[in-house]
Amino acid sequence: MSETIDFRKLEIGEYRHWKLFLNEYQCYLGRVCLVAKREDANDFIEMTEEEREEFFQIAKCVNKALKDLFNPDLMNYAALGNNFKHLHVHLIPRYEKPREFAGIGFIDKRWGKNYAPYDRDFKITLEGLLEIKDAIGSLL
C-alpha cells in the first residue's frame, strides 16, 4: 500500500469521550488507537475521571475482541504523543507465532522486544484493513 489512508475510514467506533481507530500499520494484527475527543486533551495523566473510566471500559472490550479474534500472546500499550500531540493510546497485540487473517500472514518480527521500531515495510491493502476493522467492530 503506497497511498496515504484517510484515517477516518479506519474508525471502528465513537464513544462519549473517545474514538477508536484501526492503526493503518498492521504488522501487529489488530493494532488500534483510542483518541480522546476533548480538543485540549494532551497528557495521559491529566485525563478526566470520566475519560479514564470510559477508557478502561472500552479497552477491556477491545482486549476481549482482539483475544477472541486473533488470540494475542501479550498486549502492549503506548501513550507517547511525539508525532501526534493529542491524547491517544495505542493498544498493540503481540504474537509469539505467526497469525493469519483474511488470507494475510502476520509475523511479529519484534516478539520479545519493544514494539518499536515497527515493520514499516509490511504492506496491506485498504480492503484488508477494512476487513480487520469490521471484524473488530463486529465484536464491540
Strand partners, 18: 36
Residue 2 lies in a domain: no
The beta-strand segments (E) located in 47-120 are: 74-78, 88-94, 99-101, 104-106
Write down the pTM of the prediction: 0.92
DSSP run (H or E) holding 110: none
Question: pLDDT digits over 50-59, tens only?
Answer: 999 999 999 9
Strand 11-14, strand 104-106: pairing: unpaired
Residue 75 lies in a domain: yes
Question: pLDDT digits over 19-39, tens only?
Answer: 999 999 999 999 999 999 999
Residue 83 lies in a domain: yes
- Report how many domains make up the chain: 1
Residue 127 lies in a domain: yes
pLDDT of residue 5: 77
Compute the distance between CA of residue 122 and CA of residue 91 in angstroms, rounded to an integer.
Answer: 18
Using 50, 70 and 90 to split pLDDT, how confident is the model at 84?
Answer: low
Flag whether pLDDT at 100 surpasses 60: yes
CATH code of the domain covering residue 100: 3.30.428.10
Q: Which domain holds residue 32?
A: 7-138
Residue 1 lies in a domain: no
